[in-house]
Chain A
Amino acid sequence: MKHILNRRAVLRGAMGSAVFAVGLPLLDCFVNTNGTALASGAPLPIRFGTWFWGLGVTPVRFFPTKAGKNYELLPETQSLAQVKGKVSILSGFNASLDGNPNFPHGTGGPTIRSGTAPNKPATLQGPSFDVLIAEAISGNSRFRSVDLSPMKGGASNSNSGLGPGRMNPSEDSALAFYNRLFGPEFRDPNALNFTPDPKVAARRSVLSAVGDQRKSLEARVGAADRMRLDEYFTSLRQVENQLALQLQAPAPMPACKVPEKVPDVEAEVNVETVAANHRVMTKLLTMALMCDQTRVFNMNFNNGASNLTRPGSTITHHQLTHEEAVDAKLGYQPEATKFVERIMQEWGFFVTAMDGIPEGDGTLLDHMLIVAHSETCFAKIHTVESLPIMFAGRAGGRINSGLHVAGRGDTVSRAGLTAMQAMGLSLDSWGTGGNETKKTLTEILS
């Protein structure tokens, strides 16, 4: 089944900017026998996303007590029961303020995303890691990333951007999202004229030219060094092959189907309406991924100082976190925790939905990494210590999952650095001041 085009033929074609017309039928046999790559030889694309929710967690009802595998599910993480093996929970990772104020609801999010504590509320000091990842992996996808929020006022409900004042606005209408994806501009991945990127072709020929030095060098070294040269050239060849795959027609996406149009529902702040909108958006998003329209997304469930309400109640989630006393007997805020549980149900739904779509030898979730986080830990007093963060998915086997990782006061930047390295970015350290780190989450990125 595996077929690699003759290198020189591809190069000739690419150099001459030839257009490869590829119109292929949709067949299961596109996937190779072990399901890790498409039959063309292209590996399945690895996607990246974030899932944000506002107002944190109730620490005693969220964070497992023991680090490692098989962590226990607490009331606020019950919704992860089905996918626990593919979700890791991070605790004890702090945002270092570096002399800046802790802006209520405006410090934790930007610190996690940009590795730098903000000097103005809710302001990214540099590019967020999802943007850096999108630059690296979005390739020829139609959308570099998609930004969504199922809650009213969604445009400003974003944690993604390039820096101060350069936020990526979120889409809060499922219908608008549908039209953007599957309207007349839709590019069916399975019926497409393919133009290989001439720069990739050129880069590949560059590497193969380096490989030409092999013989002359090998003739001049001793036996031990010859083995080392062998290793070097084998490694070089592998990088060359990765480029070759990019020159082939894009992977056909057998599971890509244009979904039915969604109804136009006005975004709301009522948590149940927001959840329903979230579910519609999630389904559209899965198809956007299966049709390779985008490889990166940001889903912002609610905003930082969340004004989510419950049907029939005038009090918002944000007010509850402040007004409601910590019940002395229970040890937590009984009403506020219900909001957290409700939000976490939606996070559970989101992950489970991604895991419900078969792809290759596993599921869509297995070929993605989702970083979920909030902007505070205990919202009542706006703590930015032990900011809740989760890693979902396996990123095509690049990361370990199903772990509770205890940070013991280390910076939250370790999460961003890990995500970026897992997605293949060339980066050895990240963050500034007390948030600068060279350490990845070694348990996750082995």
Chain B
Amino acid sequence: MGLGGFRATAETRTYVVERFTYAMYYDADFQKVCPYGWLPNLEEAFLQSIGPDERKRLMQPENAPERSKRFRGEFTEGNAGEDLCSNPKSFESDPRYPLMLDRAVQSKVAYGLDLDGRTDGAATANSCQHEKFVSPNNQPGIDNQAFRALGCARTWRGGSDAGGDQVQFEQAHMKDGNYNYLIEIRGITDLQNDEVEVGVYSTDDKPHMGLDGKFVPYQTFSTKKEMRFVNTLHGRIVKRVLTTDAVDSLRVETKYPVSGGNGMGTAHERVFRGARFQLTLNGDGTLKGVMGAYEKPEEVMFVGRIGGKALATVDGAVCPLENKLLEALADGYPDPKTGKCTHISLAYAVEATPAFIVHAEAASTDKISAANSD
């Protein structure tokens, strides 16, 4: 066993992803990030959507029940009774939910990767003109328009890099074993400089949780049978940092428990376009870094879409406001006819722990990958 040096035979390292959440860079200086304030919550958005006299009347303490009834009731429904979080697109032309570009993030730093290969933000064949971020460690050209759109929304910003409720919900469901992703790095001979192949898979197997609340390492997970969840990327390791090329579509399966339902909840496929990873192979066998990719704006809010308006009435998230910003700031995959971008750039924080992978197509344990630390 070497200490991170050259290996005579190629090695495969396998992991289960323990954290996969929007990478929300937290700058404690709220004024710097959101100088024009928060994206309104449900009650604020409602009050903003009505005339000043009506607003004044409803703000009287004796009218609180009426106010509450209205912003939780009529305000959360479209013309045909649509749910504002399940169907945010139905509210695109609804004047009650204006585009509030001033409530997008105004600061310069965000997590993420350079997805279109330009640092100046000019349009390319695959991207529309947009503003770039720099990464916390000063990498220029970072694409993360989803952060720009949502970083001033209460349920996304939160109080730390862990993000707000919408971000943490996603993490909690992964931790509870609703769904998991697996990463396999094949063909490692030299952690300092090497060409490798990377597999990304989804699994239905549940992890055992350790007494520290983390996944117990070296558990075995089997991949899902469907070949569409087998994603292969090409990458290069330089000084223990793996950077992959972009893959056109990275397909994973997410599950979300539905209150009142049973079993493990609703399966939901997510497709990340132009996805790339930048991951550090740590000496203790873990993996940490980011995934940068493009996704359709309404998919960014999949937690809200599945959860429905409880996200608005309980958490205060105003999904159509968020969706409008996401649509407006979309920067990837322009429509050939209109030239309007159909996808938005984003970044996911990735943390993975050593695990064994059994490939579903293999009948026996022959194809089990070995999980190694240094």
Contacts and interface: CB of A to CB of B under 8 A. Distances in A.
Chains A and B touch (C-beta atoms under 8 A apart): yes
Interface of A: 96-97, 99, 101-104, 106, 119-121, 312-314, 318-319, 322-323, 325-328, 380-383, 385, 408-409
A323 B158 contact: no
Nearest to A121: B259
Contact of A104 (B28, B206, B259, B264): B259
Interface centre among B64, B209, B210, B314 (most CB of A within 10 A): B314
A323 B64 contact: no
Nearest to B30: A328
Contacts of B95: none
A381 B155 CA distance: 12
B273 interface: no
B169 interface: yes
Contacts of A383: 172
Contacts of A102: 172-173, 176, 257
A380 B163 CA distance: 12
Contacts of B206: 99
A182 B264 CA distance: 48
A385 B28 CA distance: 28
A409 B264 CA distance: 24
A121 B260 contact: yes
Interface centre among A101, A325, A326, A381 (most CB of B within 10 A): A101
A328 B159 contact: yes
Contact of B257 (A101, A318, A325, A409): A101
Interface of B: 28, 41, 43, 61, 64-65, 67-68, 154-155, 157-160, 164-165, 168-169, 172-173, 176-178, 206, 209-213, 257, 259-260, 262-265, 313-316
Contacts of B61: 312
Contact of A326 (B41, B159, B210): B159
A101 B265 contact: yes
A120 B263 CA distance: 7
Contacts of A119: 262-263
A314 B259 contact: no
Give 3 nearest A-B pairs by CB, closest first: A409-B211, A101-B257, A314-B68
A102 B171 CA distance: 12
A323 B172 CA distance: 17
Nearest to B159: A326
B177 A314 contact: no
B25 to A, nearest CB: 14
Given A120-B262, A319-B316, A101 B172 contact: no
Contacts of B65: 314
A314 B28 CA distance: 29
A409 B213 CA distance: 8
A194 to B, nearest CB: 50
B208 to A, nearest CB: 8
Nearest to B313: A319
B158 A326 contact: yes
A178 to B, nearest CB: 30
A97 B176 contact: yes
B168 A381 contact: yes
Contacts of A380: 165, 168
B45 to A, nearest CB: 13
Given A101-B178, A319-B315, A408 B211 contact: yes
15 contacts: A97-B209, A101-B177, A103-B257, A119-B262, A314-B67, A314-B68, A319-B316, A322-B165, A322-B314, A322-B315, A323-B154, A323-B315, A381-B169, A383-B172, A385-B213
Contacts of A382: 172
Nearest to B171: A381
Contacts of A322: 155, 165, 314-316
B259 A103 contact: yes
A152 to B, nearest CB: 14
Nearest to B172: A381
A101 B168 CA distance: 16
B43 A314 contact: yes
Contacts of A327: 159
A318 B316 CA distance: 11
Nearest to A313: B64
